[in-house]
């Protein structure tokens, strides 16, 4: 009985081992590449169980089908205007042709090394066609960061698909630096440009200030002229009214009016230091001499 049980258990184990050797599991995040004696038989793109001949006849190689990222080494490039730029980049990629990928690179580390070479070469070629300020320009008429990144992606993407069966989805220039020896000159030029802009703003402000002051002066002159004209008109009206009142008063009592005007004349011309030389019969002396014209009442 014991040998039979052992034999049954051994047979079950062998059967399970044989079945496991004929079945492989492919995850939803993977490609399954079935090879027979090193040659690709088929590519499994759907997740689930994969039937195959037992090892070593058939083998299933699993390849990651998700989006993958890596950072190429930092490199220094020369722009069109002969300025050096240190570029830090980021690459996003995925496998699109498992057969070509497996035949050319085989594993992720090797693939990323090859793709990094393609991307770095594309970055150098594109930056060599643009000025050093193109990646940071906000002028729509000049190449901006999106345009430069797009040109890099287009060049590297075509080469990667044709050579390695990998699709470069995106290339980002995540950081741009200047070599240490160039920073002082660049900062000095930036300061000079900012100083020029500040001087332009200052000149514009002074010009606007003078314009405002000129307008204020013109308005002041206009208001002063109008006020002077109004004052002269009011003064003329007052003088006319005074002359009318004087005329009416003079018409009512000519002698009293003449006496009043004589007193006003005394007030203006006489003081303790005044000496007058007048004819004896001058009208202005009659009040002082208490003389009256012929026919005047006392």
Q: What is the pLDDT of residues 113-149, one digit of tens each?
A: 999 999 999 999 999 988 888 888 777 666 688 888 9
Confidence of residue 252 (pLDDT cuts 50, 70, 90): confident
Burial degree of 162 (CB within 10 A; 0-12, 13-18, 19+): exposed
Confidence of residue 98 (pLDDT cuts 50, 70, 90): very high
Other C-beta atoms closer than 10 Å to the C-beta of 123 total 24
Number of domains in the chain: 3
- Please state at what angle helix 254-269 crosses helix 180-252, rounded to 10 degrees: 140
> 19 near 55, Cβ under 8 Å?
no
Mean pLDDT of 240-258: 76
Domain contains 15: yes
**Final residue of a structural domain among 43, 64, 85:** 64
Torsion (CA) 247, 252, 257, 259 in degrees, nearest 10: 160
> 115 near 73, Cβ under 8 Å?
no
Do 113 and 40 share a structural domain?
no
The answer, yes or no, to whether residue 6 has pLDDT greater than 80, is no
The domain in which residue 25 lies consists of 2-64
Residue 232, both tokens: 């002269």
Mean pLDDT of 255-267: 75
Do 82 and 57 share a structural domain?
no
Mean pLDDT of 222-233: 91
Do 74 and 59 share a structural domain?
no
The answer, yes or no, to whether residue 164 has pLDDT greater than 90, is yes
**From the centroid of its chain, how far is CA 211?**
29
Arithmetic mean of pLDDT over the chain = 82
Domain contains 54: yes
| Residue bearing the bigger pLDDT, 52 or 223 | 223
Confidence of residue 21 (pLDDT cuts 50, 70, 90): low
Mean pLDDT of 275-284: 70
Instruction: Check residue 298 and give its pLDDT.
Output: 46
Domain contains 249: no
Of 19, 57, 63, nearest to 45 (Cα)? Answer: 63
Do 125 and 44 share a structural domain?
no
Q: What is the per-residue pLDDT across 35-93, written as a single tens digit (0 to 9) for each?
A: 888 888 888 888 877 777 776 777 888 899 999 999 999 998 988 888 888 899 999 99
| Residue bearing the bigger pLDDT, 293 or 256 | 256
Instruction: Please report, rounded to a whole number, the percentage of residues in the chain having pLDDT higher than 90.
Output: 33
């Amino acid at each position: 009985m014991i040998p039979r049980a052992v034999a049954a258990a051994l047979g079950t184990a062998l059967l399970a081992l044989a079945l496991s050797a004929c079945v492989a599991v492919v995850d939803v995040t993977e490609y399954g590449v079935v090879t027979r004696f090193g040659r690709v038989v088929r590519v499994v793109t759907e997740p689930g169980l994969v039937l195959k001949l037992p090892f070593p006849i058939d083998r299933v190689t699993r390849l990651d089908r998700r989006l993958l990222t890596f950072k190429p080494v930092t490199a220094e490039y020369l722009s069109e205007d002969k300025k050096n730029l240190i570029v830090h980049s980021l690459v996003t990629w995925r496998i699109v042709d498992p057969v070509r990928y497996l035949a050319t690179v085989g594993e992720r580390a090797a693939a990323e090394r090859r793709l990094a070479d393609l991307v770095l070469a594309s970055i150098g070629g594109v930056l060599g066609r643009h000025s050093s300020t193109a990646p940071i320009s906000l002028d729509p008429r000049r190449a901006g960061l999106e345009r430069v990144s797009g040109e890099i992606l287009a060049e590297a993407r075509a080469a990667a698909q044709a050579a390695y069966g990998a699709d470069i989805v995106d290339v980002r220039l995540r950081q741009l630096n200047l070599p240490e020896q160039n920073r002082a000159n660049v900062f000095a030029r930036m300061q000079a440009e900012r100083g020029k802009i500040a001087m332009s703003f200052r000149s514009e402000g002074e010009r606007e200030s003078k314009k405002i002051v000129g307008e204020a002066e013109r308005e002041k002159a206009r208001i002063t002229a109008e006020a002077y004209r109004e004052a002269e008109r009011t003064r003329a009206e007052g003088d006319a009214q005074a002359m009318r009142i004087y005329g009416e008063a003079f018409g009512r009592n000519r002698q009293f009016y003449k006496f009043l005007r004589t007193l006003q004349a005394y007030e203006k011309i006489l003081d303790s230091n005044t000496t007058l030389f007048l004819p004896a019969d001058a009208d202005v002396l009659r009040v002082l001499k208490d003389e009256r014209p012929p026919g005047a009442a006392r």
